[in-house]
Copies of this chain bind each other. A is one copy, B any other.
């Protein structure tokens, strides 16, 4: 696929703002941007979900500035983005938020992004990366085979909050496209699959499964496998996600959406096995059959999320396999001590 050509940032000469920075993806991307010599990295967060711990290691860094601000307040966003060259827009509610507080979730995922796009226009920011999601492909029985970037949004049988979250990401991508068409903003929508890694928070249900399994094994309890353990998951390690973000900033790709996924999908059974191996445990997993009428966010069927387009348009491919990624996550988890 040949992509449109837009602005490519020279990171050593750029100020980058990360919205929703006090997070798994935000903090790792900040680390990489500093390593790449970015002139300034502005960490914007309202700490509604973000935690000071996620960015504590950057405290006092001469090229890092923390801005505590809320995306819902346009004047604050305008002020924070003055003189900025590129924006990584991560701030969003996930599915749980669309279930618990749908008003706020819609506000932040749509109006929050609109405010940022308006700030890009006003402050003449040339490039924005939008954190999209494989949720744009939806859920349920339609999710099988390769989920390529041109595919449709499946919703049959999925719960309202999941559909609302996925649709908010679809709309977010289109708001970026409109800003591109109307105001010349260059953007790349990065459709992350399930992100996991060090500094993992406890909000993302899918990634949480690795840590929950580990916590059970540490307590001497057998891991629990939903269904029969054959359910597919497609993770991506946060280090690979941070690399993808930098690749998108420095590439000239624009007006395009790309999948950002790990080398290959795994099953829940394989994850459990990797965690047990890491722990050197003899425990055997317990299968937990679904109650009748259960709807899963991923289907029971086999699917995978190809990342070939990301290779073609931003020159990125994932490097960290699940076994290595789980080991790094759990080493970090151990270093944190008991929660």
Which residues of chain A have a CB within 8 Å of any CB of chain B? Answer: 99, 102-103, 106, 110-111, 114, 138, 142, 150-156, 160-161, 163-164, 167-168, 170-171, 174-175, 177-178, 181
Among B152, B177, B181, point to the contact of A138 (Cβ < 8 A): B152
The A interface, classified by DSSP as helix, strand, loop or mixed, is helix
Closest 10 CB pairs of A and B: A152-B152, A153-B153, A160-B174, A150-B156, A160-B177, A160-B178, A152-B154, A167-B167, A163-B174, A167-B171
Q: Across the interface, do A174 and B164 meet the contact criterion of CB distance under 8 Å?
A: yes
Known contacts A164-B175, A174-B164; A110/B114 CB under 8 A: no
Shortest C-beta distance, A302 to chain B (Å), equals 18
Q: How far, in whole Å, are A138 and B153 apart by their CA atoms in the complex? A: 9
Q: Which of A111, A161, A164 has the most CB of B within 10 A?
A: A164
Residues of B within 8 A of A167 (CB): 167, 170-171, 174
Among B114, B151, B154, point to the contact of A106 (Cβ < 8 A): B114
Q: Count copies of this chain in the complex.
A: 2
Given contacts A160-B181, A171-B171, 6 further A-B contacts (CB under 8 A): A99-B178, A152-B152, A160-B177, A160-B178, A161-B174, A161-B178
Shortest C-beta distance, A78 to chain B (Å), equals 15
Shortest C-beta distance, A306 to chain B (Å), equals 16
Residues of B within 8 A of A154 (CB): 152
Residues of B within 8 A of A160 (CB): 174-175, 177-178, 181
Across the two chains, which residue of chain B brings its CB closest to A107?
B111
Q: How far, in whole Å, are A171 and B111 apart by their CA atoms in the complex? A: 15
Q: Across the interface, do B178 and A155 meet the contact criterion of CB distance under 8 Å?
A: no
Q: How far, in whole Å, are A330 and B150 apart by their CA atoms in the complex? A: 41
Across the two chains, which residue of chain B brings its CB closest to A118?
B103
Among B163, B164, B171, point to the contact of A164 (Cβ < 8 A): B171
Q: How far, in whole Å, are A156 and B154 apart by their CA atoms in the complex? A: 14
Q: How far, in whole Å, are A163 and B170 apart by their CA atoms in the complex? A: 8
Residues of B within 8 A of A99 (CB): 178
Across the two chains, which residue of chain B brings its CB closest to A150?
B156
Across the two chains, which residue of chain B brings its CB closest to A169?
B167
Residues of B within 8 A of A161 (CB): 174, 178
Q: How far, in whole Å, are A150 and B156 apart by their CA atoms in the complex? A: 5
25 contacts between A and B (CB under 8 A): A102-B114, A102-B175, A102-B178, A103-B111, A106-B111, A110-B110, A138-B153, A142-B152, A151-B156, A152-B152, A152-B153, A152-B155, A153-B153, A153-B155, A160-B177, A161-B174, A161-B178, A163-B170, A163-B171, A164-B174, A164-B175, A164-B178, A167-B170, A167-B171, A168-B171
Q: How far, in whole Å, are A221 and B284 apart by their CA atoms in the complex? A: 79
Shortest C-beta distance, A186 to chain B (Å), equals 15
